[in-house]
Amino acid sequence: MKFIDEVRIDVTAGDGGNGAVSFRREKFIPKGGPDGGDGGRGGSIWVVADRNINTLVEYRFTRHFRARNGEGGRGADCYGRGADDILLRVPVGTVVREEETGDLLADLAHDGQRALVAKGGNGGLGNLHFKTSTNRAPRQSTRGTEGEERRLHMELKVLADVGLLGMPNAGKSTFIRSISAARPKVADYPFTTLHPNLGVVRVDHERSFVVADIPGLIEGAAEGAGLGHQFLRHLARTRLLLHIVDLAPFSPDVDPVREAHAIVEELRKYDEIDQPVDPLAEKPRWLLLNKTDLIDASERADRIAGFIRDFGWTGPVFAISAITGEGCKPLVFAIMDHIDAMRAAEPHQEPAKLSRLAAADETAAEAEMLDAGGDEEA
């Protein structure tokens, strides 16, 4: 299945049905009075987070979703039937914005969370609502209101605790294979990773964290070089970034220090262009010096110290070999302790269902009816 993490679709909610103008006509009841019913509400459109979906490929080719209109009212106090709502299922972590204004409509970070993106029109009133002591035979009714119409921009940001950064062939895929059950493609040529991969790292029976591996970055990714830097959006929700550096490149012309600086520069450019709420360049970042198994043991310490000095790094640093697993176990425990500390510091919030305010005059009872997807018919 092709991995699609960004789509644009059009949604149109249904119009409300018109109210009816009708009068009761039965034998022996010559003046029965008005009995025109109300129109039914139009169908609304919701987006729902589903943990069983991991891509937006469903919306790559089907781009227009239209809900049905509500039925018109009828005589004998019969109300029109309300139209069914449409549920658009998306992966957990999907962000929905209005294309024209860029306004955030939903950030679906929990399974089952749902949001209203296009509200159906309300049904019109039948003439039975207009009878008074002085107007016993009203012939007026109201038309149903139009449903909302929007163009949506849906963007998937995978949910992970840890994100991997690095040049192509730095060993990111090998590292995630070493510490989790994920099995991304590994080969001796660049850009073997073409879409994000997630791996669950289980430290013990009660503690675990999720790692996200994204395609490698190269210098100039912000200008479209390589695969670009659009995959950096999948690191937006992470708590920790692991910057993996190939300490033993195959070519002597490759400078690991220069490549490490290029990754940091790409993070800065991404923040300038996309302006995320939580800038990637400001996230906690650890340095992982990979492929130490390819360096002679007598030179290893000097090579590591020289890189740290030339790079000017003052944060946490770990020397590992992803292919042999050397140094990975202490790193995993250090990551788990760091994540536990961050989780404990975060305020506890119940994963409440998110719904957009469809209109200023929407009552609580109507919102509850919409959420249940129920139709009332009389």
DSSP per-residue letters across 184-229: ----SSS----S-EEEEEE-SSS-EEEEEE-PPP-TTGGGT-TT-S
Residue 308 has pLDDT above 80, yes or no: yes
Residue 181 has pLDDT above 70, yes or no: yes
Q: Which tens digits make up the pLDDT trace of 119-139? A: 999 999 998 889 888 888 898
Where do the domains of the chain lie, and which CATH numbers do they carry?
A: 6-156 (2.70.210.12), 162-345 (3.40.50.300)
pLDDT score, position 302: 92
Residue, of 171 and 233, whose pLDDT is higher:
171
Residue 190 has pLDDT above 60, yes or no: no
Q: Is 10 exposed, middle or buried (0-12, 13-18, 19+ CB in 10 A)?
A: middle
What Å distances lie between residue 281 and 132, 228, 269, 278, 342, CA to CA? 68, 17, 9, 9, 18
pLDDT score, position 8: 92
Please tell me whether residue 84 adopts helix, strand or coil conformation: coil
pLDDT band at 259 (very low <50, low <70, confident <90, very high): confident
pLDDT score, position 347: 67
Q: Which helix (H) or strand (E) holds 364?
A: helix 364-372
pTM of the model: 0.68
pLDDT score, position 126: 92
pLDDT band at 229 (very low <50, low <70, confident <90, very high): low
Q: Which tens digits make up the pLDDT trace of 330-377? A: 999 999 999 888 888 876 555 444 444 333 334 433 443 334 343 433
Q: What does pLDDT average to over the chain?
A: 81
